[in-house]
């Protein structure tokens, strides 16, 4: 979708209490936030440290941006990358859950810790307790960059979707504990 062949290595997935999510953020981050609706609904945040954001944005840009730091062109490239990554993530999730999930266009944010706090307090309410933090290193032929993906689905909707999935697919799955352990 971006025209740049990209490879991802996921180094960890954590089911993290909402109150602890900001403890994963050391340093300055930029990225995108997206709200998604369907089964489940929620919020997706893609975080880049500033060096990774600059490197990948410049790899995506057809020309050298004018100015120092993250320019409007960088921000636009990061939003587009956020859109590509979000689409892949949400589509994969919808396929596994056999549901339809739509998302808003990515919104660039450069004060990630405050944005996360706003998401936690304003949008998710006091009953949302956990989110998924996915730590990954992405590689292209030209540049390596790191990102973290924070997925905060509506817990009740996700639980319902997973319960339904387990019941519907029970006949399609078989697992022998001796094969697994």
What domains does the chain contain, in order, with CATH numbers?
7-168 (3.40.1550.10)
Between 137 and 173, name the one with better pLDDT: 137
Between 5 and 47, name the one with better pLDDT: 47
Q: In this predicted structure, what is the pLDDT of residue 176?
A: 57
pTM, 2 dp: 0.78
SS in 3 state form for the chain?
Answer: CCCCCCEEEEEEEEEEEHHHHHHHCCCCEEEEEEEEEECCCEEEEEEEEHHHHHHHHHHHCCCCCCCCCCCHHHHHHHHHHHHHHHHHHHHHHHHHHCCCEEECCCEEECCHHHHHHHHHHHHCCCCCCEEEEEEEEEECCCCEEEEEEEEEECHHHHHHHHHHHHHHCHHHCCCCHHHHC
pLDDT band at residue 1 under the 50/70/90 scheme: very low
């Amino acid at each position: 979708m971006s025209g740049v062949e990209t490879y991802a290595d996921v180094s960890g997935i954590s089911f993290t209490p909402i109150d602890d999510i900001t403890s994963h953020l050391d340093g300055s981050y930029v990225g995108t936030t997206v709200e998604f609706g369907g089964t489940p609904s929620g919020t997706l945040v893609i975080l880049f440290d500033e060096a990774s954001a600059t490197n990948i944005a410049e790899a995506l840009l057809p020309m050298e941006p004018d100015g120092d730091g993250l320019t409007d062109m960088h921000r636009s490239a990061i939003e587009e990358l956020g859109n590509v990554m979000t689409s892949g993530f949400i589509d994969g999730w919808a396929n596994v859950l056999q549901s339809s999930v739509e998302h808003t266009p990515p919104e660039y944010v450069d004060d990630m810790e405050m944005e996360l706090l706003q998401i936690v307090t304003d949008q998710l309410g006091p009953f949302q307790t956990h989110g998924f933090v996915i730590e990954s290193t992405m590689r292209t032929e030209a540049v390596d960059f790191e990102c973290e993906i924070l997925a905060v689905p509506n817990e009740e909707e996700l639980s319902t979707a997973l319960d339904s999935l387990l019941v519907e697919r029970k006949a399609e799955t078989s697992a022998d504990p001796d094969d697994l352990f």
